[in-house]
Amino acid sequence: MLAGLACLFYLAVSLGDFQPFGSARYPLEARFVSSSGLKPGAFVEVGGVRVGRVTAIELDPETYESRVHLELDPEVRLQEDAIASIRTEGIIGDKFIKITPGGADTILAPGDVMFETESSISLEELISKYIFESDN
Amino acid sequence: MTRHATAPGAAAAALIVSLLVMAAPVPAADAGGVAPPGAVVRETVDAVVAVLADASLNAATKRRQVRKIIGAHFDYAAMSNRVLATNWSKASDVQRRRFTALFRDLLSHTYWRKISGYSNETVEYTGEQLRGDKLATVRTLILTETADIPVDYKLYRRDDRWMAYDVVIEQVSLVRNYRARFHETVHRSGLDGLLGELEVQVAEASVAGTP
């Protein structure tokens, strides 16, 4: 009976990203011109390894930018010139955030804002834009 | 919102005007006597466009002038630091200097081919955003006959002037692009391996691209 409950608990924690003891992860914010297609819960990766997730996405009413809130594993230290890019898993998969580490001496502290970002690339928009340029 | 004059006569006028602007101490300076980032980008782009549109210059002269104009407002060392990222801190001073020089030459060859094909595109300035007092983004649109291409310039404040360290075209960052590419090379064959490869690339490009 107890073992069963423990298994259930383990499943809830590992499948549902449920953290009963409070999150040890630290928060960061990244601002994008567009975060089209990105959803809360999307994962954050560095070097192909999942190290965090998107917790919330909101619109900045003044700049009309997308403010994406992230949380990252405590051992992942990012330089202030690390770049956050919104990418798609495969060609039609879900969007996620890929971070390429930088070379600056200053490390981002919990709650800091990442300045260097690349927004969602809309393949449809790009194709429709450049399809008419094939003559040169 | 400003559009460049692109008629031949106007282009010559633009050259003279922008040369005067370049020679002037600082246009529209803020309280601290520092030209705002938007003005720096506008000045630089205007000056480059004016050189490219000047029919009286030959290709070699145009290239030399463009390189000089861009060199005054692009911080290649800051760019190299960001491109090499984690590998920069491990590099020796000699390696850093060599990389910076090679990267500058590589960019100069690669982008000269692109911008020398300039044919009366106009540039529109769509905004400027400050991040704290050290970082800024200046947004522009290059209007071609068929498409509007968004180009953002990233600048940082170095002492009393704004210098560019990244260009983001269609949401693709130049620094991020080269960072990913070079990181793989360094992982595979070390920093000296990367420097060797760059030397070959620059040498090939300068043979192929001599105007």
Q: What is the ipTM of this complex?
A: 0.72
**pLDDT tens readout for residues B107-116:** 988 888 777 7
Question: What count of CB pairs under 8 Å joins A to B?
Answer: 62
Residue A108 banded pLDDT, cuts 50, 70, 90: very high
Asked if the Cβ–Cβ distance from B176 to A100 is below 8 Å, we say yes
B155: pLDDT strictly greater than 50: yes
Q: What is the mean pLDDT of chain A?
A: 85
> Of B10, B117, B7, nearest to B62 (Cα)?
B117
Q: Which two tokens stand for residue A42?
A: 């999307």
Interface test with A, best of B80, B81, B82 (most A CBs within 10 A): B82
What mean pLDDT comes out for the span B134-155? Answer: 90
Other Cβ atoms less than 10 A from the Cβ of A88: the count is 15
Asked if the Cβ–Cβ distance from B180 to A100 is below 8 Å, we say yes
Residue B22 banded pLDDT, cuts 50, 70, 90: very low
> Which of A85, A103, A118 is opposite residue B84, by nearest beta carbon?
A103
Residue B9 banded pLDDT, cuts 50, 70, 90: very low
Better-predicted residue by pLDDT, B132 or B83: B83
Would you say residue A111 lies in a domain?
A: yes
Tell me, what's the pLDDT at B168? 92
Radius of gyration of chain B from Cα atoms? 18
What mean pLDDT comes out for the span B63-77? Answer: 91
State the CATH number of the domain containing residue A102. Answer: 2.40.30
Would you say residue B2 lies in a domain?
A: no
Asked if the Cβ–Cβ distance from A115 to B131 is below 8 Å, we say yes
Locate all alpha helices (DSSP H) within chain A, ordered by sequence. 2-16, 123-130
Asked if the Cβ–Cβ distance from A116 to B166 is below 8 Å, we say yes
B152: pLDDT strictly greater than 80: yes
Would you say residue B1 lies in a domain?
A: no
Tell me, what's the pLDDT at B27? 43
> B56-92 burial, b for 16+ CB within 10 Å, e for fewer?
ebeeeebbebbeebbeebbbbbbbbbbbbbebbeebe
Contacts of B82 in chain A (CB under 8 A): 81, 102-104
Domain that holds residue A91: 23-121
Would you say residue A28 lies in a domain?
A: yes
Would you say residue A5 lies in a domain?
A: no
Name the residue in chain B with its Cα closest to that of A63: B129
Would you say residue A45 lies in a domain?
A: yes
For residue A120, the distance in angstroms to the closest alpha carbon of chain B comes to 8
A133: pLDDT strictly greater than 70: no
Other Cβ atoms less than 10 A from the Cβ of B33: the count is 10
Amino acid at B146: T
Q: Is the CB of residue A81 less than 8 Å away from at least one CB of chain B?
A: yes
How much of chain A exceeds pLDDT 70, in percent? 82
Total domains in the fold of chain B: 1
- pTM score, two decimals? 0.78
Domain that holds residue B21: 8-208
Tell me, what's the pLDDT at A72? 96
Tell me, what's the pLDDT at A16? 53
Burial class (CB in 10 A: 0-12, 13-18, 19+), B53: buried
Would you say residue B195 lies in a domain?
A: yes
Asked if the Cβ–Cβ distance from B147 to A121 is below 8 Å, we say no
Contacts of B172 in chain A (CB under 8 A): 118, 121
> Which residues touch A19 (CB under 8 Å, ≥6 apart)?
A13
State the CATH number of the domain containing residue B181. Answer: 3.10.450.710
What mean pLDDT comes out for the span A85-110? Answer: 90
Q: What is the mean pLDDT of chain B?
A: 82
Q: Is the CB of residue B134 less than 8 Å away from at least one CB of chain A?
A: no
B92: pLDDT strictly greater than 60: yes
Better-predicted residue by pLDDT, A17 or A79: A79
Contacts of B183 in chain A (CB under 8 A): 100
Give the highest mean pLDDT range of A36-45, A89-98, B201-210. Answer: A36-45
A4: pLDDT strictly greater than 80: no
**pLDDT tens readout for residues A16-63:** 555 555 568 999 999 998 999 999 999 999 999 999 999 999 999 988
Question: Treating both helix axes as pointing N-terminal to C-terminal, what angle do B76-84 and B174-208 enclose, rounded to 10 degrees?
Answer: 110
Q: Is the CB of residue B100 less than 8 Å away from at least one CB of chain A?
A: no
Tell me, what's the pLDDT at B7? 42
Better-predicted residue by pLDDT, A56 or A14: A56
* d(C-alpha B30, C-alpha B43), whole Å: 16
* d(C-alpha A78, C-alpha A82), whole Å: 6
Q: Which two tokens stand for residue A47?
A: 């070097």
Asked if the Cβ–Cβ distance from A103 to B87 is below 8 Å, we say yes
Contacts of A81 in chain B (CB under 8 A): 82, 85
**pLDDT tens readout for residues B37-49:** 999 999 999 999 8
Contacts of B81 in chain A (CB under 8 A): 103-104
Residue B32 CA neighbour count, 13 Å, CB half: 9
**pLDDT tens readout for residues B165-198:** 999 998 889 999 999 999 999 999 999 999 999 9
Total domains in the fold of chain A: 1
